Amino acid sequence: MADIIITEFMDEAAVAMLRARYEVHHDPELFGKPDELAALVATSPALIVRNQTQVRGPMLAAAKALKVIGRLGVGLDNIDMEACTARGIKVFPATGANSLSVVEYVIGSAMVLLRGAYFANAAMVAGEFPKTKLIGREIAGKRLGLVGFGAIARDTANHARLLGMNVVAYDPYVPEDDPAWQATQRLDLDAVLSSADVISIHLPLTPETRGLIGKKAFARMKPDAVLVNAARGGVMDEEALIAALKKGKLGGAALDVFEEEPLREGGKRFAGTPNLILTPHIAGNTVESNGRVSGLVAERVMAALEGRI
């Protein structure tokens, strides 16, 4: 019987730290083996997951001995929090540990999309030299519109201002008198979408936010605006995004999250879409952030098992 089940990749130094004190079963592909996972978790008091492991339904019901869940990331939409709370299962996300990686992804993607020069490989390989077609834009002086203004969005705002951007944001759950608004203009959603040169989504996936960035939202955006989504895929209508890009109604987009992950056959619908960057839910994962996230979660899981928190 293992004390701790780890279903996805985790920094090896953190795994070694856990193994020094507990019996650990670590299989980075275990999330895709539901029967094996259900059998293993039935007698384990601790489970550590990323975003691909669905901690709900029959799997969670089978985890009779479960006391603590460590989440190698911050989103909790893959975990049935209501059921965990009812059963007294403690859930520990790695809040703050991967923020810098996400911020750099958002800013870096925005710079690539605005500059436009990095989509020239095919033309260059063909012997062309399309200088006049690739005169892009600087990020300095542009308006960053944040849809959602939580911790990562606020860090993104701070970095953006250092690059000379001005920042506006929409978040009805952050009170108007919150000190976070001191350097960021608070606007409604329509105003953010219609005025921003760069739009970055920072929303959790909830019934309220599902599909929020859809056909009507894209119609409000500037035709040369660029969009980055490193939050949750279901917040945005992917078909509406594809249509906007193909019709020249949007300047570009970078997607790190999707309605369905992995994309599998669904990825084919993105083929031929211009000015589009697709990455596999990796914005929060760098060598450095993986070490921070894994170490933080390992410490919290051990503390919970030992009754220290």
Give residues with Cβ within 8 angstroms of 122, minimum separation 6: none
Amino acid, res. 144: L
Burial profile 121-150: b = 16 or more Cβ within 10 angstroms, e = fewer? eeeeeeeeeeeeeeeebebeebbbbbbbbb
On the 0-12 / 13-18 / 19+ scale of CB atoms within 10 A, 47 is buried
261 catalytic per annotation: yes
Token pair listed for 18: 């856990």
On the 0-12 / 13-18 / 19+ scale of CB atoms within 10 A, 58 is exposed
Nearest to 49 by CA among 86, 16, 77, 85: 77
Give residues with Cβ within 8 angstroms of 231, minimum separation 6: 148, 201, 202, 203, 204, 205, 257
The catalytic residue among 23, 29, 260, 261 is 261
CA distance 201 to 235: 9
Peptide bond before 207: cis, by omega within 30 degrees of 0? no
232 catalytic per annotation: yes
CA distance 63 to 56: 10
The catalytic residue among 50, 143, 186, 281 is 281
264 catalytic per annotation: no
The catalytic residue among 26, 202, 232, 292 is 232
CA distance 229 to 240: 14
Q: Which residues are catalytic?
A: 232, 261, 281
